[in-house]
Amino acid sequence: MELYILTKGIIFCIMASVGIVGNSIILGSFQKSVYHEHKSASTEIILFYTGLANLFMLLTRGVPKFLFDFGIRKFFNDPGCKFVVYVARVSRAMTICLTCFLSCFQCSTIASSKWKWAYIKVYMQTCLVRIMVGLLVMNMVACIAAPYLSVSLNNSTEHKYIFNLGYCFIIFPDNVSFQVNGFVLFVRDLLFVVLMSASSVYVLLILYKHKKIVKHIKRSVQNQQTAEGQAAKIVVTLVSLYVLFFGIDNSVWFYQITSGQVHPIISDVRYFFSLCYSSLFPFVIILLNKKIRNKLKCSKEEEFTQLQAISTTSKVAKK
C-alpha cells in the first residue's frame, strides 16, 4: 500500500507541476501578445481565462493531493479547507463553463449569416467580459455549499456520507443531501458537455460544407492558417479532451452517488481524470496556436541573444 501511495503521489506531482508550469507559460504568452499588439482576439481572451481557471484548479486540487500523498498532512485547518475546496470547486466549474462558452462562441462565429446568428455573434463579442463575469458569479453561488460542508482532518469524524479528499473531508449530514448534491453537479456537467459537444459537431459540419470558402481564405493569407480554421481546431480538440476526461470523471462520480460507496482507489481514479484536462490544456494551445508558438520561439531567441551578449561582455572584460 505504501508503494501505491508513493506512486500516486509522484503521478499527481508530475501532473500538477507540468500543468502549473504549462498554464503559467500560456498566460504569460497571452499577456505578452496583448502588451505588444495592444489587442486580443475574443477566442484568445476566453482561452486566457480558461488557462487561469486551470491554474487555480491545479493549485487547489493537484498540489494539496500530492503533498498529502508524500506525507505532508494536517496542513489545513477548517478555514483553510473551506477556502481550498471552494476555490477548487469554482475553478472546476469555470473550466467546464468557459470551454463550453468557447465552443458556442466559435460556433456562432463561423455560422451562417442569418440575422439570428448575426445577433448572437454581436452579443457574444460585445458582452464577452460580462458573460464570463456572469458565469463566475453563477458558479460562486452554485458552489457555496462546498465550503460549508468541508472540514479539516483534525475535525473529521466517523460518518457514512463523506468524501475523503485526503487533506480535507466533505461531510454530508444525510443521504438526501449527499445524493441531491451529487445529482445536481452531475446534471450540470452533463448539460454543459452536451451543449459543447453539439456546438463542436456543428462547427465541423460547417467547415466541411464550406471547404471552398475555407480554401479561398487560406490562399488569401500568406504563410499562416486562417483564424477560423485554427480556432476551430483548438475548440474541437479541447472539447474532445474535456468530454473524454470529464466523461470518465462524471461516470465515476455517478457510480459513487448511486452506490453510496466512496472507495479510496475509485476516488483516486476520478481525481486523476479531473486533473488531466487542466494539465494537457497548455500543450494543446502550444501545438495548435501559431501565435503562441511564435511568441515562445521569439522569447527563446531573445534569451539566447542576451546570454551571448553577456558572455561576450564578460570575455571582453577579462581581456
pLDDT value of position 308: 53
Residue 303, φ and ψ in degrees, nearest 5 = -65, -40
pLDDT value of position 3: 82
In the block, which residue shows the cell 483564424? 227
pLDDT value of position 189: 85
Q: Does domain 2-298 have CATH number 3.90.1150.10?
A: no
| Cα distance between residue 206 and residue 221, in whole Å | 20
Count helices and strands (H / E) in the chain: 12, 3
**Set of cell numbers at residue 316:** 571582453
Q: How far is CA 197 from the centre of its chain?
A: 16
| Cα distance between residue 213 and residue 38, in whole Å | 30
Residue 225 confidence class, pLDDT cut points 50, 70, 90: very low
Q: Kindly tell me if the per-residue pLDDT of 233 is higher than 70.
A: yes
Q: Kindly tell me if the per-residue pLDDT of 127 is higher than 50.
A: yes
pLDDT value of position 14: 93
Q: How far is CA 294 from the centre of its chain?
A: 23
pLDDT value of position 54: 94
Instruction: Read off the DSSP letter of residue 166.
Output: S
What residue type is 271 in one-letter code?
Y
**Set of cell numbers at residue 98:** 468557459
Highest mean pLDDT of the ranges 122-126, 163-167, 279-283: 279-283
Mean pLDDT confidence for 237-258: 83
For residues 123 and 16, the model is more confident at: 16
| Cα distance between residue 122 and residue 128, in whole Å | 10
137 contact partners, CB below 8 Å, separation of at least 6? none
Q: Kindly tell me if the per-residue pLDDT of 40 is higher than 70.
A: yes
Residues linked to residue 164 through DSSP beta bridges, in sequence order? 169
